[in-house]
Chain A
Amino acid sequence: MISPVQAQETQIEEAFDPLEDHVISLEDSPDGQTHIEIGAHGEEHVTGVFPPFDATTYPSQLLWLVITFAVLYFVMKRVALPRIGVILEERRDRIEGDLAEAERLRQKTDQAIASYEAALAEARSNAHAIAEKARTENKAKLDAERAKVEASLAKKVAAAEESIAATKAEAMGHVGEIAAETAQAVVAQLVGTVPAESARDAVAKVSKE
Chain B
Amino acid sequence: MANDPIHQFVIYDIFSFGTIGGDGTEGSGISLAFTNSSLFMALTTLTICAYLILTTRRRGLIPNRWQLTSEMAYEFVANMVRSNAGTEGMKFFPLVFSLFMFIFIGNMFGMIPYFYTFTSQIIVTFALAMLVMTVVVAYGFIKNGPKFLKLFVPSGVPGYIVPIVTPIEVISFLSRPISLSVRLFGNMLAGHITLKVFTGFVVSLASLGAVGIVGAVLPLLMGVAITALEFMVSTVQAYVFAVLTSMYLNDAIHPSH
Q: List chain A positions with a Cβ less than 8 A from chain B.
A: 1-3, 5, 9, 12-13, 16-19, 22, 36, 38-39, 41-45, 47, 50-54, 56-69, 71-73, 75-77, 79-81, 83-88, 90-91, 94
Contacts and interface: CB of A to CB of B under 8 A. Distances in A.
A60 B61 contact: no
B74 interface: yes
A75 B185 CA distance: 26
Contact of A69 (B11, B13, B102, B122): B102
B44 A68 contact: yes
B95 A73 contact: yes
Interface of B: 1-7, 9-14, 16, 27, 30-35, 37-38, 41-42, 44-45, 48-49, 52-53, 56, 59-61, 63, 67, 70-71, 74-75, 93-95, 97-98, 101-102, 118, 120-124, 127-128, 131, 185, 189, 193, 197, 200, 204
A2 B121 contact: no
Contacts of A12: 4-6
B53 A61 contact: no
Contacts of B63: 87
B33 to A, nearest CB: 5
A26 to B, nearest CB: 12
B185 A52 contact: yes
Contacts of A86: 59
A83 to B, nearest CB: 5
A60 B35 contact: yes
Given A41-B12, A61-B11, A87 B4 contact: no
Contacts of A38: 4, 6-7, 10
Contacts of B131: 69
B33 A19 contact: no
B123 A45 contact: no
Contacts of A58: 123
B56 A83 contact: yes
B61 A94 contact: yes
Contacts of B93: 81
B6 A81 contact: no
Contact of A47 (B2, B4, B27): B27
Contacts of A1: 1-2, 7
Pick from B16, B94, B197, B204 the residue with the most CB of A within 10 Å: B94
A64 B34 contact: yes
A1 B123 CA distance: 24
Contact of A61 (B5, B27, B38, B42): B38
Q: Which 4 A-B pairs have the closest CB atoms?
A: A64-B38, A43-B13, A51-B9, A77-B94
Contacts of B94: 73, 76-77, 81
B10 A84 contact: no
Given A18-B197, A43-B12, A57 B37 contact: yes
Contacts of A80: 49, 52-53, 56, 70
B5 A72 contact: no
Contacts of A41: 10, 12
B25 to A, nearest CB: 12
Given A43-B12, A60-B13, A60-B37, 5 more contacts: A51-B10, A61-B11, A76-B97, A84-B70, A87-B61
B96 to A, nearest CB: 10
Given A19-B193, A60-B31, A68-B44, A43 B16 contact: yes
11 contacts: A18-B5, A51-B11, A52-B9, A52-B123, A57-B11, A61-B11, A61-B37, A61-B121, A81-B97, A84-B74, A87-B63
Contacts of B10: 38-39, 41, 44-45, 51
Contacts of A19: 6, 193
B157 to A, nearest CB: 38
